Chain A
Amino acid sequence: MALLLLVLVPALGGLLALAIKSVRIDLGVLLAVAVLHLATAVGLWFVPSPPLGSLLALDVAGHLFLTITSIVFLVVALYAIPYVLHATHDPQAAPHLFVPCLLWFLAAMTLVTVSQHLAVMWAAIEATTLASAPLIYFYRKKSALEATWKYLLICSVGIALALLGTFFLGIAASGAGDGAPPLVLDALANAAPHMTRPWLKVAFIMALIGYGTKMGLAPMHTWLPDAHSQAPAPVSALLSGALLNCAFLGVLRFYQVVLASGDAAFARTLLLVFGFLSIGLAAVFMVRQRDYKRLFAYSSVENMGILAVGVGLGGAATFGAMLHAVNHSLCKAALFLLAGNVLRVYGTTTAGDVQGVLRRLPLTGVLLTVAFLAIGGAPPFGPFMSELVIFQSAIRGSEVWLGILFIALLAIAFLGMAGVLLPMLQGEGAADQLPVREPRLSVVTPLCLCVAVFVLGVFVPAPLSEVLQSAAVLLGGGHG
């Protein structure tokens, strides 16, 4: 029942917000729903809820991603309050659809995490696209419109492929005889060993490419920098911090089935290929990137690549991938929120036109430095640890060269990011640019995220590592 609530409350909240015209009340609703959602999501760790029919159930991987989504959403909701009320740097904004769409977005993402039926999950993921498209077009600008259009078209087409993959899986299963099982995860897992291989393969490939499009794996990532750079800060944060994970979960579900089928070697290979392709391409585009929001977007591509590589390597790396998913969500959300602060004051996303953030926005500047170091994989922050786990399990396994390639690409990405961000942070702003007072919430929220990332860097609480561990086991990995 709780599962249904998790989905319905945001959805209905969205309708409510749509009905109410006052922005303030809307935001109240948003906050209330976010808090409620997080409370439920966390509560479910302690009192697990029974699966709802064969469609909805909460396994550990789904629950992990649900919790991440919920946390990021709450933070974003808090940040959104000052952002919507008085901080939008652009007069021609469209707040009236903002809150409802956010809530529907949340509902859709929740549904992704709790659905066990692949078709339902597909529908949910498609729904996330539709719910978030209007959010990207928050600022009524041609560029935003273009970004929205690309996002819609590319993701819809990609997702369509994923649906095809889903059906293929069904066909493969129906090949398994004894009345094909429905597209429910465990049923598929049971039938997997008997599936007709070619269909299974094609199914996974389609799903990987389809959901990979949404997840931002190269070379299907093309929509991502546009959408992330044009969307308002809170939305970018959600897209990067929550949505990409959900798409990743889509891939993982198929991966589970392939694992159950016994020969997952090809899937691992594919994950590695796409993972490295993404990291490499992202690194290339991060070097000398002109637009700092695009920079963060490409860094998301890179990190999605890292996740794929982690799962593809298997063993301890899968654990690392899970941990990295958490770290990345927190870091990237923080980065985009901070980018919002910078954008509000400087009014441009062109890195070259921004200088002396540390002087003009001291808090934002410091936090941006911290978040940058964190996402760049510098100790003592979370991503350092997760990347180290992935790297070392690569070196320890037979894939020494993969490990070396991995860390080399990460280094390039880090330096590329440094080359763009540090000149923005440092330096003298123009003489007239005095330090600016920043709304408390828009600084506190990223601060919390940064603190969390720092804590994860020096200390991973036992319960969390157990959860990650069991999630990794679910995905055929675990401590090497």
Chain B
Amino acid sequence: MLWPFLLALGIHAAGGILALLFFRSNRAALAIGTVACVAASLIGVVAAGHLLLVGGAAEMQASWHVPVGELRVGVDALSAFFLLCIHLVSGLAAVYGAGYLGGHAHERTLAPVVFFFALLVAAMTGVALARDGVLFLVAWEVMSLAGYFLVTFEHEREDVRRAGMVYLIASHIGVVFLFILFTIFARHGGDFSFASLASAGAPSSSLANACFLLALVGFGTKAGFWLLHTWLPEAHPAAPSHVSATMSGVMIKMGIYGLLRALTFLGTPPVWWGILLIAVGALSGVLGILHALAQHDLKRLLAYSSVENVGIVVLGIGLGLLGQSTANPAMAFLGYAGAVLHTLNHGLFKGLLFQSAGSVLFATGTKEIDALGGLSREMPVTALTFLVASIAISGLPPLNGFISEWLIYMAAFRGGTDLHGAAAVATIAVIPVLALIGGLATACFVRAYGISFLGTSRTDATKAAHDPPLTMRVPMVLAAALCVAIGLWPDAALRLVERPTQVLVGVATVPDPLLGSLIAITRVSLVLLGLAALLALLRRGLLRRREVAVGSTWGCGYEVPTARMQYTAASFAEPILGPFEATLHRRADEEFPTAYFPREAHHQLLPGDLVGERIIVPVTRRALAALGRLRIVQHGRVQMYLVYILVTVVVVLLWQLSGGSR
């Protein structure tokens, strides 16, 4: 069952190259790229879905004339699941992109962005299919580079170039660790292939620890764990929205995939791995969502919330690890299942959110939340999809976000009841952390949705706004529908994650009570909807006979409220961020009213990134300065150059001959 995936890969690549050949006509390039991507994605989704529901795995190896042996590809449930995410999200994004890029058609040739998008998807497919280190690294690097060229799509803008550079540096540093990791794997397994690695058995504990840490950093950089996340809030806003959707929806998830894949080779994990991952997840989740709350730029906000969601996934993985290391398959199953399902869910609603934000940008030309407002009138569809995604990403029933978080809660609870000592405390700690994340996420997305879509418009940027063209609306609505579907039928969703989780844990089947609970959740959701419908009908019935007046908002006595009197995003976030001020790095740009007749005054909080501005920027600056000082060596005086040579000769001679080699 490998060929459909290879076929999809081929179609992606071919579509990209064809699009490149038709670079003279934007419409042609766009059409070719989109059609190819959609076709390939359909194949991929169907094949992956089939494999996930029916089961099975395949592997094949092509002897290949490269110095480091032959290449192997294969697919198992884990790969299949991520292939499902990849093709689902990027297929939708491709359709959306066709409409979105149409807006740029007049100003630049689109063939490159189409090509690199196809290349990105193809490379991600390659990563998921790779069964040996070399192919994995190649696909990984191609993926990162394609991502770079997509981020710098509008490279005439200074900030975009800078974002691209940050992205490039981050991903390149990350890949260094992966090189080391996979070469150590190769050393352990005898060659680069995963098969021989698996047959070589689990490495010694010290080696396993080293590999684990390498994987954590290497893949964590891509996935955007806290401390390694700083490229995300730069790159995602810079990229065109369908690209941000794909990058945030699936590309960063390849980091998760890599981590999971690496873990399958490392044998039974020691307890501290799980605890460490839980710590990382908690940090990423809480700080990620707090930074998201502090943002004024819609896409930056979404980028930070990706950090948060990756944190949630990592919490799940950490619980899974703890379950494995304490031989508690039920807990491991719950943790991994939650993590894996949340990757899919996040792919769906984060993709949807980026697409909706893109539509807003498309319609109003701004991403500033405080410049928007009242959009739900001009853009009803976008408002609806954004609302659905917001509820989902806040983890609220009856949508899909709730399901995955619920699974992780259950895992944490299982651990709390079954484990002892530090492990138990760590697992139970997940519960309040998740609760806090959930509460903050709700606040964050009520703010994002409410300020930009509700109330009245704050600037005239929104005056001419309107819903995007059909090509952009359809994928948005589809994604929203999927969010609802997973939320309403979680047991079906569990079927999807069952086999991948088994790859990780090795449990035979789903624990029965779990299925029961999931079906019960369906019941709860349906009851919820039923009650809502009932109450709505009742209300309508009551109001039918009464007169319903329309007036202006109650201003507590003040009769002429203006749009600028509305609560802004900044003021909304303030009481929430207050207790956490220390973790943020915000600079206030303010001018207080002075004298008796103050002319003007303003106050603005510029959100910064603690890690970025306190650690990374100073360190790099120092390093560069140090390097700069070294340049004096090349001073241009030929005599001194010759002296270098003489000195070298003397030093080397003394060194080599002093060794008593006479």
Contacts and interface: CB of A to CB of B under 8 A. Distances in A.
Pair from one complex: yes
Interface in A222-240: 222-223, 225-226
A422 interface: yes
A284 interface: yes
Contacts of B614: none
Contacts of A2: none
Contacts of A223: 641
The 6 tightest CB contacts between A and B, nearest first, are: A426-B155, A428-B156, A222-B641, A379-B138, A395-B183, A219-B644
B395 interface: no
B553 interface: no
Nearest to A226: B636
Contacts of B662: 197-198
Among A213, A319, A379, A407, the most chain B Cβ lie within 10 Å of the Cβ of A379
Contacts of B168: 415, 418, 422
B653 A205 contact: yes
A202 B183 contact: no
Contacts of A462: 65
Interface stretch (A38-46, A116-124, A146-154, A248-256): A146-154
Contact of B155 (A153, A385, A427): A427
Given A223-B641, A378-B141, A461-B65, A415 B657 contact: no
A133 to B, nearest CB: 14
B179 A373 contact: no
A384 B138 contact: yes
Interface in A92-141: none
Nearest to B180: A404
- Sorting the interface of chain B by its residue count into under 10, 10 to 19, 20 to 34 or 35 or more gives 35 or more
A226 B634 CA distance: 10
Given A379-B138, A386-B67, A395-B184, A220 B152 contact: no
A243 interface: no
B642 A391 contact: no
A352 interface: no
B580 interface: no
A453 to B, nearest CB: 14
A285 B634 contact: yes
B145 interface: yes
B642 A157 contact: yes
22 contacts: A197-B661, A219-B645, A222-B641, A284-B631, A285-B630, A373-B145, A378-B141, A379-B138, A380-B138, A384-B138, A384-B141, A389-B67, A389-B68, A392-B68, A395-B186, A403-B180, A418-B168, A426-B155, A428-B156, A458-B66, A460-B66, A460-B67
A411 B173 contact: yes
Contacts of A287: 624, 627
B141 A379 contact: yes
Q: Quick one: which of B134, B141, B649, B657 has the most chain A CB within 10 A?
A: B649
A284 B164 CA distance: 22
A17 B187 CA distance: 56
Interface string A287-298: 110000000000
B65 A465 contact: yes
Given A379-B137, A395-B184, A415-B169, 8 more contacts: A287-B624, A316-B67, A323-B67, A388-B137, A391-B179, A404-B180, A459-B65, A461-B65
Interface string B461-489: 00000000000000000000000000000
Nearest to B133: A392
A192 interface: no
A325 interface: no
Contacts of B66: 385, 458-460
Nearest to A298: B634
A202 B657 contact: yes
Looking at A222, A270, A320, A385, the one whose CB has the most chain B CB atoms below 10 A away is A222
B156 A427 contact: yes
Contact of B64 (A281, A403, A459): A459
A392 B657 CA distance: 32
A380 B168 CA distance: 17
A149 B638 contact: yes
Nearest to B639: A153
Interface string A202-219: 100110010001000001
B656 interface: yes
B176 interface: yes
A272 B657 CA distance: 18
Interface string B169-184: 1001100100110011
A396 B176 contact: no
B227 interface: no
A379 B184 contact: no
Q: Which of B165, B179, B630, B649 has the most C-beta atoms of chain A within 10 angstroms of its own C-beta?
A: B179
B641 A414 contact: no
Interface of B: 64-68, 134, 137-138, 141-142, 145, 152, 155-156, 161, 164-165, 168-169, 172-173, 176, 179-180, 183-184, 186-187, 624, 627-628, 630-631, 633-634, 636, 638, 641-642, 644-645, 648-649, 652-653, 656-657, 659, 661-662
Nearest to B629: A284
B645 A209 contact: yes
A422 B145 CA distance: 13
Interface of A: 149-150, 153-154, 157-158, 161, 197-198, 201-202, 205-206, 209, 213, 219-220, 222-223, 225-226, 266, 270, 281, 284-285, 287-288, 316, 319-320, 323, 356, 358, 373, 378-380, 384-386, 388-389, 391-392, 395-396, 403-404, 407-408, 411, 414-415, 418-419, 422-423, 426-428, 458-462, 465
Contacts of A411: 172-173, 176
A358 B65 CA distance: 34
Contacts of B642: 153-154, 157
A150 B172 contact: no
A403 B652 CA distance: 24
A378 B145 contact: yes
B196 to A, nearest CB: 14
A425 B645 CA distance: 37
B172 A379 contact: no
A392 B648 contact: no
- Residue among A323, A356, A396 with the highest chain B CB neighbour number at 10 A: A396
A403 B155 CA distance: 35
A407 B137 CA distance: 14
Contacts of B186: 392, 395-396
A201 B179 contact: no
A205 B645 contact: no
Nearest to A219: B644
Contacts of A389: 67-68
Contacts of B145: 373, 378
Nearest to A468: B67
Contacts of A414: 172
B142 A380 contact: yes
A154 B645 contact: yes
B526 to A, nearest CB: 51
A407 B179 contact: yes
A171 to B, nearest CB: 15
A392 B173 contact: no
Contacts of A396: 183, 186-187
Nearest to A289: B631
B649 to A, nearest CB: 6
A388 B183 CA distance: 9
Nearest to A387: B179
A2 to B, nearest CB: 30
